[in-house]
Chains A and B, each alone.
Chain A
Amino acid sequence: MSLSGVWTDVVGQASAVDVLASAVAGEPGAMTHAWLITGPPGSGRSVAARAFAAALQCAAGGCGDCRECHTVLGGTHADVEVLSTELLSIGVKETRELVRRAALSPAGGRWQVIVAEDADRLTDQAANALLKAIEEPPPKTVWILCAPAIEDVLPTIRSRCRSIHLVTPSTAAVAAVLVRRDGMDENTARVAALASQGHIGRARRLARDPDARSRRADVLALPRKVGDVGSCLRAAERLIEAVKADVAATAEVTDAAERESLKAALGIGTGAKQPPGAAAALKELEKRQKTRATRSQRDGLDRALVDLVAFYRDVLAVQLGSGVDLVNEAEAPAVQDVATASTPEVTLRRIEAVLACRTALETNAAPLLAVEAMTLGLR
């Protein structure tokens, strides 16, 4: 199966793409009304969902060039509704609106596709509100739910969907994308792909943005900085600061771009008086950006912790002489230092400390306190 058209960006998922493409092609029994796409973060769940939606809307089955494909991928197609959230959960109010959308017939006459990108964030009530609509949608409506793992959605939702599992794309596949699409040289691409552990978006940022690389290096410098209590506390503070800076750097760019495009659409800034409703729309956007900032700080800190776990994984690999590829090739000397200075038991205890910090953050612990507790545990 050659990857062409809209499927090009669904990296390293040949078997999943096969299933989806045959559904689009209309092979008997291949299509169904509800899909659940699962896969680890960064494996491209929402990319796959959008590609599938585009292919369903495209007369040529996902050519990637026509107007339908373009508007689906750009998020403006009339028959593709995408529910994603920047908050921590999706409530019953948003889902009620989806239930109504699901009952409408498609404007373009092909399919009405509803993509729920963060189905794992549905509250139980919200998921229950969807049950009926997912079980028996009108003939032209298709649901595509995305979640990290099949266990993340209610069993009652799960049983109503056909499941598609995405694997973590291989390092080689990620590196190939970076080379092909972003024009990276092979070495940078490989290092970034390794460091991102199969998270395509993250790999791209690491490859393209030297600042992101240096901030990541900052995070990974932490294991060598923890000594006495004072240094632990300082290291924790630096980690939080690094994450904040990282998140702010991305947010600044996207926030400004969003504001500009909304302003242009509402006709502000071309000399006329502000049209009615414009101030409210802008305020709403600002509010959304603020809640997104909260969430992305949480996500950013989580990513940093995952990087730390990967570092100790490398340390463990060296200590046990397993000979597998290091995730952090660029930090190999540091890995060596830590490996010789400690024992596998200590490393395992440290990994546990980092994972405990992740759990604590999930239950809304104050980030600085949780990270301080972790750095003290890393001594």
Chain B
Amino acid sequence: MSTAVLNAIKSKFASGVRSAHSHCGDDTVVLDRKVILDVARYLKSDQAMAFNMPIDCTAVDYLDFPGGDAAGSDETRGVGGFAGARFEVVYHLYSTTRKHRIRLKVALDESDVNTPSLTQVWLGMDWFEREAWDMYGIRFDGHPDLRRILLYEEFVGHPLRKDYPLRGYQPLVPIAKLDRDNEDPKLVNTDLNPEAPE
């Protein structure tokens, strides 16, 4: 992979680029969310870039990431995935004409998980961003229809966050409470679900 794309972004949006690396051969640039929309529009419309295909959008939660609190140099920052904030939104783009790829990342603090939606540039980011909202609670400003996609609307919380409990129940229809006093003793009581809410 050439680093031509990385260099172009660095020279054009120098103030908005927090760091860049090519770990494992994947060109990656960590951007300020103020410039992400401009960078995306540039990458799509410029003839030399021609990133016409949205491949993927997801998020990562770096809560208590090992070594995350240590002050890293610009070289190591981002290589571990970690860019200094709790959440990262990760975009993958591809160009079918130039056959090159790029990964864009936006670091977001826990207090302010808003970032501009790239559906304004690639329609295909629609469901991917909805999934990132569903799983991580990232708000994409300007998304036309930011609803949950895999879970149901009534679901509370965002289950892929590292502080979401691994065990527990959140049924859409309440689990019926057994009437112990009037129970038929012949029926075997299999209390398989001790953690069920009362």
Query: Do the two chains belong together in a single complex?
Result: no
B contact set with A: CB distance below 8 Å:
none
A contact set with B: CB distance below 8 Å:
none
